[in-house]
Amino acid sequence: MDFSIWTEKYRPKILKEVIDQKHVVERLKSFVKESKIPHMIFAGPPGTGKTCCAIAIAREIFGKNWKQNFQETNASDMRGIDVIRTRVKNFSRIKPIGGSFKIIFLDEADALTSEAQNALRRLMEMYSDVTRFILSCNYSSRIISPIQSRAVVFRFKTLSEENVFEYIKRIVSGEKLKIDKEALEAIYLISGGDLRKATNILQASAIMRKKITKNTIYEVTAQAEPKEVMDMMNHALNGKFIDSRKILKDLLLKRGISGQDIIKEISNQLYRLDIPDKEKIGLVERVGEFEFRLNQGGNEQLQLEALLAQFSLYKK
Contacts 24+ apart (CB under 8 A), 241-244: 241/308, 241/309, 241/312, 244/308, 244/311
With a pLDDT cut of 90, the percent of the chain lying above it is 55
Q: What is the average per-residue pLDDT within 188-204? A: 91
Give residue 14's pLDDT.
92
Give residue 209's pLDDT.
66
Tell me the angle at which helices 50-62 and 22-34 cross, rounded to the nearest 10 degrees. 20
Query: DSSP label at 150?
Result: T
Instruction: Give the pLDDT confidence of 141-184 residue by residue, as tens digits.
Output: 999 999 999 999 999 999 999 999 999 999 999 888 899 899 99
Contact 78, 120 (CB under 8 A): no
Instruction: Give the pLDDT confidence of 66-125 residue by residue, as tens digits.
Output: 989 999 888 766 666 777 887 888 888 888 887 789 999 999 898 888 888 998 999 988
Q: Residue 221's pLDDT band (boundaries 50, 70, 90)?
A: confident
Residue 192 predicted with pLDDT over 60: yes
Q: How far is CA 122 from CA 52, 133, 306, in A?
A: 27, 12, 54
Q: Which of 266, 241, 259, 247 is nearest to 301 (CA)?
A: 259
Instruction: Give the pLDDT confidence of 24-40 residue by residue, as tens digits.
Output: 999 999 999 988 899 99
Domains and their CATH numbers in the chain = 6-155 (3.40.50.300), 161-221 (1.10.8.60), 226-315 (1.20.272.10)
Give residue 60's pLDDT.
93
Give residue 300's pLDDT.
93
Give residue 80's pLDDT.
67
In what helix (H) or strand (E) does residue 111 lie, and over which residues does it extend? none
Instruction: Give the pLDDT confidence of 266-296 residue by residue, as tens digits.
Output: 998 998 888 888 888 889 999 999 999 999 9
Residue 207 predicted with pLDDT over 90: no
Give residue 96's pLDDT.
83
